[in-house]
Amino acid sequence: MNSIARVKGRLLLLALAGFCAARSEAGTISGSFEPIAAGSNVDLTIVGKLDWVHWGLQTDSSISRKSGTPPLISDYSVLGTGLVYPYQYSDNANGYTWYDGSPSITQTNTTTGVWAYQAYPPELLGSGFQITAPADTDLKTLQVFVGTFAARGQFQATLSDGGLPYTDTSLFNSGNGPGGVYVLNYKANTPGQTLTVKWTLSQRAAGTNSITGNVTLQAAALTRTNANNPPFTTLVSPASELGLIAPADIHLEATAQDFDGYVTNVAFYSGSTRLGQTGSAPYTLTWTNPAVGHYFLTSLATDNQGSSRGSPQVEMFICTNGGMLSGSVKDAAPTADLTTEGTLDWVHWGLVTNTSVDRKSGVPQVIPAVNLILTNPVQRYSDNFTSFSWNDGTPTLATNGTTTGIFVSRLDSGFRLTLPADPEPRTARFYVGGYGVQANFEAYLSDFSALPYIDNSVSNVFDNSYVVYTLNYASASPGQFLSITYSAASLFDVDFGNVTWQAVTLQGPAATLPVIITNAFRMGDNFVLRFTTQTNRNYTVQFTESLGPPFWNDLVTLPGTGAILSVTNQAPAGDQRYYRVRVQ
């Protein structure tokens, strides 16, 4: 008995020793709360040297954050039991300003934020928000800007490696009142840890507003001792989505500023190619006579501590004027007959499922499959404004009117399509739309023989848009293509904002399709080859005795019939002969 008791006691002491050792490895948090005076303005760029986030600029899911740096502060998640919903509001007691944001570069004194509503059951407490930030052995400072309406809030911060949490319930307003900032100084004992912050409703104020008492969340900013705020730069010239006719010299100009030091130089880039740099303002450079093409330009600023940050990219085109590309956009009509409109070809997406594709039957396929810009899943919807009809389709022969289409969510997501282009003029129409999005429609010819068509008029915060784009185009040379992208340039509703894609129609002469030789064989002393053709095209069969370097001789020129042509070369001379077919 005594020996057993001694063993148990020893085990208990060992367990206690292990517990104490674990506690000694925990991180540390210290916190404080400070009210923010009504009418004051918080500069997030200055206080958030490592990262900052603001919520609710347009909608409850709008998130604005420091650009050009790794995102460290998480988006919020909603806390509570039952049905809890976040809402945007715009009458906060103080404002927020920034100069280095994304997607909105600059905001001045915005009084927006989000609040959490306990919808059901309404009497419960605990509704609110949760955010996280990385923690390691470096001491960091996180500021969280919050408020309450007819309520008292509870603020709690914990580290994933243990340690005493920080808890406070100082902020109370009997109605709509000023908010405050919680300042957390924290570090973990080991790398790879997480700081978790919860801001929740702990008490409702008495009176008529009791049932709607709530907590609000506006912003958070992260820094550390001796943190260096990287410089910020914007390429102000050329304007984005600019098209110029060659030859042209491009004036590059950037603004740059550093918030805790000074800018030492600004470099200019086309893609990853450095075009040049300058060490003092004004930050300018002349790009002399760039080749015809499609470019993405940026500036990169470096400060006196060696930190750098790049600008948002500027897209531009250098073109010739041998082709044609013009476009227009208008609100979509309630109905569209794809058979009547798509005389050359048409395609509709989403009739039955998110992968359904119906197209014009009995004609060569000219409109190819649509590609996704990102890999977000395609979803189907069935309440489109325009009702589409056709009577010459496959696999669905006819429909009297379908309001279906497809959509994708996420910033920069969207659709990409290419159409064949040659000197023959064609007209293409694109039925698209979006919800809670600023969309961008872009079209350009692969030989850059005309200025691009770019439009970003599809823009709505809370509603749906339904439009049709019409493009008239022809390239300067045969064998080209028209490239079209339609994407989400900015999301007002981060959770549900999307771009939609419904149908494409094409009118004009048939595109020149590649020649496919279906059969080639020797018949006695003769050589026979057969190939597919199109109407309104001429086919020239040519031959050469050698491929290096070849000199091609015309054998025969025949008009296309839309069927397979057979050509016989009677008793060709020599030991070998090479053939090709040219189409015009």
Residue 228 CB neighbours (<10 A): 17
Q: Mean pLDDT for each consecutive 10-residue tract of the chain (584 residues)?
A: 34 36 70 96 97 96 94 97 94 97 95 94 92 97 97 97 94 94 96 97 88 94 94 94 94 95 97 96 96 97 96 96 97 97 97 97 93 93 98 97 96 95 96 96 98 96 95 96 97 92 93 79 88 84 83 90 88 84 86
Q: What does the block give as tokens for 477? A: 């040379």
Buried b vs exposed e over 312-325: b needs ≥16 C-beta within 10 Å?
eebbbbbbbeebbb
> Are both 22-224 and 232-319 of the same fold?
no
CATH-assigned architecture of domain 328-507: Sandwich (2.60)
Q: What is the pLDDT of residue 573?
A: 82
Enter the pTM of the model: 0.79
What phi, psi does 509 have (nearest 5°)? -65, 150
> What whole-number distance in Å separates Cα of residue 561 and Cα of residue 538?
9
Contact 403, 370 (CB under 8 A): no
Supply the CATH classification number for the domain 232-319: 2.60.40.10
Q: What is the pLDDT of residue 212?
A: 87
Contact 95, 56 (CB under 8 A): no
Q: Which residue, chain included where needed, has tokens 């048939």?
A: 510
CATH-assigned architecture of domain 22-224: Sandwich (2.60)
Surface-to-core class of residue 261, CB atoms within 10 Å of its CB (0-12 exposed, 13-18 middle, 19+ buried): middle
| Helices and strands counted in the chain (H then E) | 3, 49
Residue 206 CB neighbours (<10 A): 10
Domain spans, the chain: 22-224, 232-319, 328-507, 517-583
Q: What is the pLDDT of residue 532?
A: 85
The domain made up of 517-583 has a fold known as: Immunoglobulin-like (2.60.40)
What phi, psi does 47 have (nearest 5°)? -80, -20
Closest CA to 539 of 562, 523, 572: 562
CA distances to 99, 124, 340, 367, 460 from 391, in Å: 55, 57, 9, 18, 34
Contact 319, 244 (CB under 8 A): yes
Contact 208, 150 (CB under 8 A): no
CA distances to 111, 125, 204, 296 from 215, in Å: 15, 11, 10, 43
Q: What is the pLDDT of residue 16?
A: 35
> What whole-number distance in Å separates Cα of residue 562 and Cα of residue 565?
9
Task: Name the amino acid, one letter, at 532.
Answer: T
Contact 127, 167 (CB under 8 A): no
Q: What is the pLDDT of residue 7?
A: 32
User: If DSSP codes are grouped into helix, strand and coil, which group holds residue 472?
Assistant: strand
Closest CA to 178 of 284, 89, 94: 94
What phi, psi does 447 have (nearest 5°)? -95, 5
